Amino acid sequence: MTVAATPAPSPVTTGGESGVRLARSRRNAELSLLLLAMVLVAAYGATVEANLLDTVTPDFWMPAAALGAVFLGLHLVIRFLAPFADPALLPAVALLNGLGVGFLRRIDLGEAAPVDRESLAIFAGIGGRQLAWTLASVILAAGLLAIMRDHRSVSRYAYTLGLAGIVLVMLPAVLPRSISEINGAKLWIRVGSFSIQPGEFAKLALLVFFAYYLVRKREVLSLASRRFLGIDFPRGRDLGPVVVVWLISLLVLVFEKDLGTSLLYFGMFVVTLYIATERVSWLLIGLILFFGGAYLAYVLGEMVGGPFANFYLRAEIWLDPFADPTDKGYQLVQGLLALGTGGLFGAGPGGGQPEILPEVQNDFIFAGIGEEIGLFGLSALLVVYLLIVERGLRAALAVRDSFGKLLAGGLAFTLGLQVFVIVGGISKLIPLTGQTTPFLSAGGSSLMANWLLIAVLLRVSDGARRPVSGSAGKAARPTGGPPEQLHGAPTEVIKP
Amino acid sequence: MPELVITVARFGFLILLWIFVFTVVGVIRRDLFAGARSGRLVAAPRAVGASTGQAAKPAKVKRGRAAHQLVVTAGQLAGTRITLGEAQITIGRAEDSTLVITDDYASARHARLVPRDGQWFVEDLGSTNGTYLDRAKVTGPTPVPLGVPIRIGRTSLELRP
């Protein structure tokens, strides 16, 4: 309709220049970082073997090579389908995933009989299973990148995904205990020896729904408010949905006996609400509601027990793990001792005793790794997590549409919150809850869901960094997405 | 395996881990600088919208120059800019508008900007909540000076040279 007939002078050229500068795809940087990450994984494997077997087998590089091959495949998919995606995301995640596989293989090596150790097949044991899961997850993530050419297209399925998310969350709660309960938490669906954790996938589905709902409601949520004590509080009726999600998260807490997951859902919603409205009052309301709810559950657990007893027990262990160090507090105490044994530089990969730790392959993997690489190594891993979250938030800042902003911001925050919940749990900062450590812990559901999350972040960051000015950007934009916001007029973004 | 090799491997791994971290930070830092520099080159719309003093300044300096761009300075589309040609610009929630604003206080066909002899005129198309040029409600076709905000609901637009 409107065509730029007069070529506009200076401002446009400036915009064009900045577009060119931002338009560098950085794929080669990603490739070299990925290679470095795989070298690290191979070095880890070699060190483990040197420590455990007293020799380095000629096949030590096999797991790293298998991982490297599949990550390289994902890199190629990104190169062709999301050329402007963030270059730091894939290598950082690949490193964490690779070290996770390496550590799980190290547990297998430690548990295998000494004669079998040198000939342990790469797909054997939990390490091998994790390796297989990684291959499957990465292929799934590549598939998601191929299907979802524009992150805005998922908003079309927002209500379906929201419903699916709630069903997935509630499913383990209503299923009989024999199918859904593992270690006191009803989070699972078990079919034979195969078990999936639907909550991990629900996280993604619910976040898409939250982002879509809040994009539609943000105006009324941030405009209509009453001022009280210098903070703008929303009207009572606008609080409806947040109260509903709060109730769901409390129900999860009570019936699935999992504080971590409930904290995760609730934190996810409150933070997306905060991103949508820029109101600090939501954070305050969220924190007060959550701590109020958790305290109430603690008091109820002490007085009436029943469904609250599990939470009460966990809180008691958290308050004083050494009260019963050989039974109830055993896991947490062993985790703390492992971290303490590791000290500053750790016992060296393969030099610790992770087999003492209960659930070292899942919840306590961070303590198990910490014993061997020490504070120095653990802080590097935490910085890698921090970088992943930062890149996600950066993509959220840079992307142009509100839905993408909420989606990327919420996903990145959720990942960070999950790391906080589990690392805080094993280091006795908060009550311990059964969360997986993203990309490190053994478990297909968690790995797959987190890789899908990374695929979405890659897609959003591709949309954010893709040059919007000029015909190249227009031509590269896939057709068939939702209607574009601006018609007939060439538009550019000033604010990066 | 000699003790020395194991010690070297152990610390070598930790050092390599941190080298990886710093390499990633290096890659990101270059990205961050690229973003920051381009941010400084072009005026940040939010600051302009927030303080009217800053908004008045460029308008005064560049008075008399023709408008070449329409910039959204506040609202959901903040940061969007449209290069002005000779065709009119329609603003509203309707999908066929030139500038589609998803503002709860905007009408489907809210207002339009029409060029006449190098001067742009804003005209309200019978919207529910009205169009404002700075503080004054727009009743008929009104000339729009550079840098003066046109307000539609929560959205603010400005003409820029």
**Does B33 reside within a domain?**
no
User: Which residues of A are less than 8 Å from B23 in CB distance?
Assistant: 33, 36
State the pLDDT confidence band at A136, using cuts at 50, 70 and 90.
very high
Q: What is the residue extent of each domain of chain A?
A: 152-319
* Closest-approach residue (CA) in chain B for A34: B20
* Closest-approach residue (CA) in chain A for B88: A2
pLDDT tens for each residue of A340-374: 998 898 888 888 888 888 888 888 899 999 999 99
Contact: B24, A374; criterion CB under 8 Å: no
Contact: B82, A9; criterion CB under 8 Å: no
pLDDT tens for each residue of B85-131: 777 888 888 777 778 887 778 888 888 888 887 788 888 888 888 88
State the pLDDT confidence band at A151, using cuts at 50, 70 and 90.
confident
**In sequence order, what are the beta bridge partners of B119?**
B116
**Cβ-Cβ contacts under 8 Å for B134 (sequence gap 6 or more):** B148, B149, B151
**In sequence order, what are the beta bridge partners of B131?**
B152
**In sequence order, what are the beta bridge partners of A225?**
A234
User: Which residues of B are less than 8 Å from A40 in CB distance?
Assistant: 13, 16-17, 20
Q: A135-149, B20-34, B47-61: which has the minimum mean pLDDT? A: B47-61
**Does B18 reside within a domain?**
no
Domain of residue B135, CATH code: 2.60.200.20
Averaged over A73-80, what is the pLDDT?
94
Calculate how close chain A gets to B139, using CA atoms only, in Å: 24
Domain of B128 in residue numbering reads as 67-158
**Cβ-Cβ contacts under 8 Å for B82 (sequence gap 6 or more):** A2, A486, A489, A490, A491, B69, B70, B89, B98, B99
Q: How far is A45 from A35, CA to CA, in rounded Å?
A: 15
In this predicted structure, what is the pLDDT of residue A304? 80
In this predicted structure, what is the pLDDT of residue A464? 85
**Does B30 reside within a domain?**
no
* Closest-approach residue (CA) in chain B for A91: B24
Nearest to B21 among A12, A348, A383 (CB): A383
pLDDT tens for each residue of B4-25: 888 888 899 999 999 999 999 9
**Buried residues in B73-87 as b, exposed as e (16+ CB within 10 A):** bbbbbbbbbbbbbeb
Q: How far is A203 from A411, CA to CA, in rounded Å?
A: 9
Contact: B83, A490; criterion CB under 8 Å: yes
Q: Which position has the higher pLDDT, A253 or A460? A: A460
Nearest to A489 among B1, B21, B98 (CB): B98
- pLDDT winner (highest mean) among A216-220, A227-231, A301-305, A409-413: A409-413
User: Which residues of B are less than 8 Å from A52 in CB distance?
Assistant: none
Nearest to A6 among B76, B85, B89 (CB): B85
pLDDT tens for each residue of A299-346: 888 888 776 777 788 888 888 888 888 888 888 999 999 999 988 988
What is the number of structural domains in chain B?
1
User: Which residues of A are less than 8 Å from B25 in CB distance?
Assistant: 387
User: How many Å from the N-terminal Cα to the C-terminal Cα in chain B?
Assistant: 73
* Closest-approach residue (CA) in chain A for B76: A402
Enter the pTM of the model. Answer: 0.75
In this predicted structure, what is the pLDDT of residue A233? 64
CB–CB of A161/A232 below 8 Å?
Answer: no
* Closest-approach residue (CA) in chain A for B1: A54
Please report the beta strands in A212-277, taking only residues with DSSP state E, as ranges in sequence order. Answer: 225-228, 231-234
CB–CB of A168/A121 below 8 Å?
Answer: no
State the pLDDT confidence band at B32, using cuts at 50, 70 and 90.
low
User: Which residues of A are less than 8 Å from B68 in CB distance?
Assistant: 6, 8-9, 11-12
Query: How high does pLDDT run on average in chain B?
Result: 75
Contact: A4, B85; criterion CB under 8 Å: yes
Give which of B5, B42, B46, B104 to mutate to test A binding, by max A Cβ within 10 Å.
B42
**Does B16 reside within a domain?**
no
Q: A10-19, A381-390, A425-434, A451-460: which has the minimum mean pLDDT? A: A10-19
In this predicted structure, what is the pLDDT of residue A492? 42
* For residue A89, pLDDT beyond 70: yes
**Does B135 reside within a domain?**
yes
User: Which residues of B are less than 8 Å from A374 in CB distance?
Assistant: 14
Calculate how close chain A gets to B138, using CA atoms only, in Å: 23
Contact: B28, A11; criterion CB under 8 Å: no
Contact: A6, B86; criterion CB under 8 Å: yes
Q: A50-54, A201-205, A232-236, A289-293: which has the minimum mean pLDDT? A: A232-236
* Closest-approach residue (CA) in chain B for A21: B34
* For residue A485, pLDDT beyond 50: no
Averaged over A176-197, what is the pLDDT?
73
